[in-house]
Homo-oligomer: A and B are copies of this chain.
Amino acid sequence: MTTARTSKRLSNPWPMPFNDVSTGHRQTARTQELATTRPKRKRRTPEEAREEILLAAEALILEDGPAELKFQSLADRSNVAVSNVYHHFGGVLEIKRGLAEKVFDELTRDLMTALGEEADNEPRIFARKVMSRVYSVLRSERYAKLIGWIVLSTELGELEGFTRPLPAMAALIAGHMGQHLPPDTSERLAQFIIYNVAIVAVGEGLVGPAIKTALTMDEAAAGGSLWLGDHWEELLARELEKAAS
C-alpha cells in the first residue's frame, strides 16, 4: 500500500466544510454523559424522564446494538425505574417510535439550520456549501446509524420520516438557484443533489469506516466528498453555461 503517496495526490480540496464536526457527533458524547454518569435517581418532570429514556435508547442502539433495546437495559441506563419506563411508554415499540420521531425532528432542524446559514451566498457557492453542510450532517455516524436502524425497523410501519425535511430542502435549494437558472433546471438539480448527497453520506457514515480499515486507506484518500464535489462543480458549471447562452 502506498498510503503516503495516496494521501498527497487525493487529499481533499475542501477540507473545511466536509470535515466539520457535525452536531451528531457532539450529541453522541452528550448522550453518553447523560446516560452513564448520573449516580442516583432524582426527581424529574415527565418530559425530563421521557427525554432520559430516549437518550438511553439511542445510546443502547449505537453502543450495544438495537437488540439491547429492552426495558431493563433502558431502566439501568436512564436511571428511571422499570415501572416508570412502562408508565411513560407502555412498550418497546412506543420507545422506538418516540426515538424515531426525535431523530426526525433533530435532523430536520439541523438540515434546515445548515441551509438557512448559507442562503446569502451566490448560487454556485450556495450550492457547494449546501452540499457540504447536508453531507456533514448526514454522514455523522450518529445520524447514519440511526437512519439505518429506522430503515431496518419495519415494525415501525410506514414511518419514512427521515425523508420529511427533504422536499422543503429541495424547494429551498431550487428557489435560491432559480434566481440564476430556469425553474425546471433548478428543481431537477436540487433533487439530484439531495438524492446523491444523502445516499453517499448515509453509505459513508454506515460502512465507510470498516471499508477504510479493510483497504488500509487513510482519511484523506477515502473522502467521498472529493469526487462528489468535483462532479457537482462540473455539473453546475455546465448548467450555468447553458442558462447564460
Give the interface of A toward B (CB within 8 A).
Answer: 1-2, 5-6, 9-10, 61, 63-69, 92, 145, 147-149, 151-156, 160, 162-164, 166-167, 170, 184, 187-188, 191-192, 194-196, 198-204, 206-208, 210-215, 217, 221-222, 224, 227, 230-231, 235
21 A-B interface contacts by CB (under 8 A):
A5-B184, A6-B187, A6-B188, A10-B188, A65-B155, A67-B67, A67-B92, A67-B155, A160-B213, A163-B215, A166-B214, A170-B215, A191-B217, A195-B208, A195-B211, A195-B217, A196-B224, A198-B207, A199-B203, A199-B208, A202-B203
Q: Are B211 and A199 in contact (CB under 8 A)?
A: yes
Copy number of this protein in the oligomer? 2
Contact A65 B195 (CB under 8 A): no
Contact A155 B214 (CB under 8 A): no
- Cross-chain contact B221 with A199 (CB below 8 angstroms): no
User: Does B152 contact A66, Cβ atoms closer than 8 Å?
Assistant: yes
Q: For the complex, what is the distance from the CA of A202 to the CA of B210, rounded to whole Å? A: 13
Contact A215 B191 (CB under 8 A): yes
